[in-house]
Structure 1
Amino acid sequence: MEAAVSCLAEHGWAGSTVAVVAERAGVSRGAAQHHFPTREDLFTAAVEYVAEERSTALRDLFHAGPAARPAVVEALVDLYTGTLFRAALQLWVAASNEEQLRPRVTELEARVGRETHRIAVELLGADESEPGVRETVQGLLDMARGLGLANVLTDDTARRARVVAQWSRIIDTTLA
């Protein structure tokens, strides 16, 4: 699964085949195709698996429940600036042009998005019954995705740090 995500992030959809992933993973192409009959099966399963692993890791960072909000904001932004986001982005682009892939990626993105939102609410100690809180948390995740997108083309570290600090203040004010 990690090999598939790495290949997708590095080579994009066009350059990532079952054979390329099998070679990187150190297995035969036949073995890979036994478990994942199609390329779409392999890459959607890989992105889903790694997303679940990242969700678990995020929760483990703050296993005591709600944490210091600036640390949570930074950790959430980090989800969107790594290899998983690059791989997911490649999958999204491919799905925009490939009819058979689109429904699978749309469903996967919706499920991962809901789970990420739940984790953010939990870690921030947010009360979504308060007006504007749900939208603020979703805005944080949308902002994080945008920062991840900007980071794909250039190293956006300095600007990202300032934006993350500002969003931490916004979250603190809104959730106070």
Structure 2
Amino acid sequence: MTREPKQDRSRVTRGHLLAVTIDCLAELGWGATTVSLVAQRAGVSRGATQHHFPTREDLITAALEVMFDARMEQARREATDLPTGEGRTEAVVARLVDYYTGTLFKAALQVWTAAAADPELRARIVPLEERFGRVAHRTAVEHFGFDDADPVAHRLVQATLDLARGLGLADVLTDDSKRRAEIVRQWAAQLDAALPSGQPRSGQSVQPPRLDVAVLD
């Protein structure tokens, strides 16, 4: 039987540790997610874990970065499953909202909160947050098929991501899925009304949509 090369085993172990870290953060929070706990849950010795990630901050920031990249790559692959024509806008909005109500967002939220009171952690997290924002925006533009050079389209994409993030926050303590589905439907309709072609020409004048605030009550 051929043994798995040491380098491959190391890569698998590293990936497993990162995935377990995300689960721990989402389930237990920042304070409880220690190197020891992650090692225990992953079935890896503490020494082996610290060989890959010397500190908790190294482990957690790597987990966020690697898992985010994996999620966005998955999103690009899944783009082929999105419908074309009628219904695409709502499907894209729903997909984006899903990103912000999943385990990765809940894990990131724990770290973001801790970073607000920890200058050293904040120095690590701010560049990640900026990169996450750029990648998420680009992914949304690709899914919608908008012309991001159009300033209104650019702002609408950003507003959609802000909306998705807010819905993700609302989902942290209680299941907000029923209300969320209605908001997704209403916002998608507003986007379709604002950009009926789905691909505005550069410089085309369109009015930003107004979301019916009654839906948010």
TM-score by length of 1: 0.95
Amino acid across the alignment from 1:107: P
Task: Give the Cα separation in 2 of the matches to 1:12 and 1:116.
Answer: 24
CA distance in structure 2 between the partners assigned to 1:36 and 1:158 by the alignment:
40
Looking at structure 1, the residues matched to 191 and 83 of structure 2 have their Cα atoms a distance apart, in angstroms, of 13
Cα distance per residue 1:6-32 (max 9 Å; x no partner): 001111111110010111111111111
> What is the alpha-carbon distance in structure 1 between the residues aligned to residue 65 and residue 184 of structure 2?
26
Q: In structure 2, what is the equivalent of residue 153 of structure 1?
A: 173
- Between the aligned partners of 1:119 and 1:170, the Cα distance in structure 2 is 20
CA distance in 2, matches of 1:65, 1:125: 12
The structure 1 residue matched to 2:95, chosen from 75, 94, 108, is: 75
User: RMSD in angstroms over aligned alpha carbons?
Assistant: 1.5
Counterpart for residue 5 of structure 1: 22
Q: Report if the CA contact (8 A) 1:66-1:122 is conserved.
A: no
**1:18-57 correspondence to structure 2 within 5 Å:** 18-57=35-74
Amino acid at match of 2:25: L
- Post-superposition offset of 1:76: 0.5
CA distance in 2, matches of 1:4, 1:64: 29
CA distance in 1, matches of 2:180, 2:71: 21
More helix by share: 1
Structure 1 unmatched runs, 5+: none
Quote how far apart the aligned CAs of 1:170 are.
Answer: 1.9
Task: Name the stretch that deviates more: 53-62 or 112-121.
Answer: 53-62
Distance in 1 between the 2:195 and 2:136 partners?
A: 18
Question: Which ranges of structure 2 fall in alignment gaps of 5 or more residues?
Answer: 1-17, 197-217
Tell me which of the two structures has the higher relative contact order, counting C-alpha pairs closer than 8 angstroms and 6 or more residues apart: 1
2:10 corresponds to which residue?
Answer: none
Larger radius of gyration: 2
Kindly tell me: are residues 151 and 65 of structure 1, through their superposed partners in 2, closer, same or farther at Cα, counting changes over 3 Å? closer
Identity of aligned residues (%): 53
Tell me, what secondary structure is at the counterpart of 2:119?
coil
Aligned length: 176
